[in-house]
Amino acid sequence: MSLHKYVLHTAKINNNCPECYSKEGLEFTFEQENFENRFYTKAKKAVIETLYCHNCNQQVFPVTWTEDIERVYDYHRKLAKPKSSVMKLKPITYIILLFDAITVGLIIYYLSNR
């Protein structure tokens, strides 16, 4: 059983950092969490959005974003297409389901022929 993040989209932007005013440090990252166990994988619906400044080495939270950053954010958010959050069964699960169906079938067959 595990939960891991995978990156959907990243973008370095040329806006000024609200914290250190550098124009070269900001980067957007859009990630999605994926839950996985032996039987299925499932992506979580929510996309995790972070704006990080590599110049002052900290996350820049939306409360401090300028209008320009928000505009750039809107643009990049559309490029970060989340994966479907539909549960995907693994082959082992199909085998188990098939095996179960055969077992049930045999029981019904056995009972109806007594």
* Helix, coil or strand: residue 69: helix
Taking CB under 5 A as the rule, does residue 56 contact Zn ion?
Answer: yes
Taking CB under 5 A as the rule, does residue 53 contact Zn ion?
Answer: yes
As measured in angstroms, the least distance from the Cβ of 49 to Zn ion is: 17
As measured in angstroms, the least distance from the Cβ of 93 to Zn ion is: 46
Distance between CA atoms of residues 88 and 81, nearest Å: 18
Taking CB under 5 A as the rule, does residue 11 contact Zn ion?
Answer: no
Which amino acid, 89?
A: L
Taking CB under 5 A as the rule, does residue 19 contact Zn ion?
Answer: yes
Distance between CA atoms of residues 4 and 84, nearest Å: 16
Tokens 């055969």 correspond to what residue?
102
Reported as type and span, the H/E element at residue 61 is none
The answer to whether the CB of 94 falls within 8 A of the CB of 38 is: no
Q: Where does this chain touch Zn ion (CB under 5 A) — which range of 13-21, 65-73, 79-87, 105-113?
A: 13-21
Q: Where does this chain touch Zn ion (CB under 5 A) — which range of 4-12, 16-24, 40-48, 86-94?
A: 16-24
Q: Where does this chain touch Zn ion (CB under 5 A) — which range of 1-9, 47-55, 65-73, 106-114?
A: 47-55
Tokens of 71: 């505009």
Q: Which residues bind Zn ion (CB under 5 A)?
A: 17, 19-20, 25, 53, 55-56
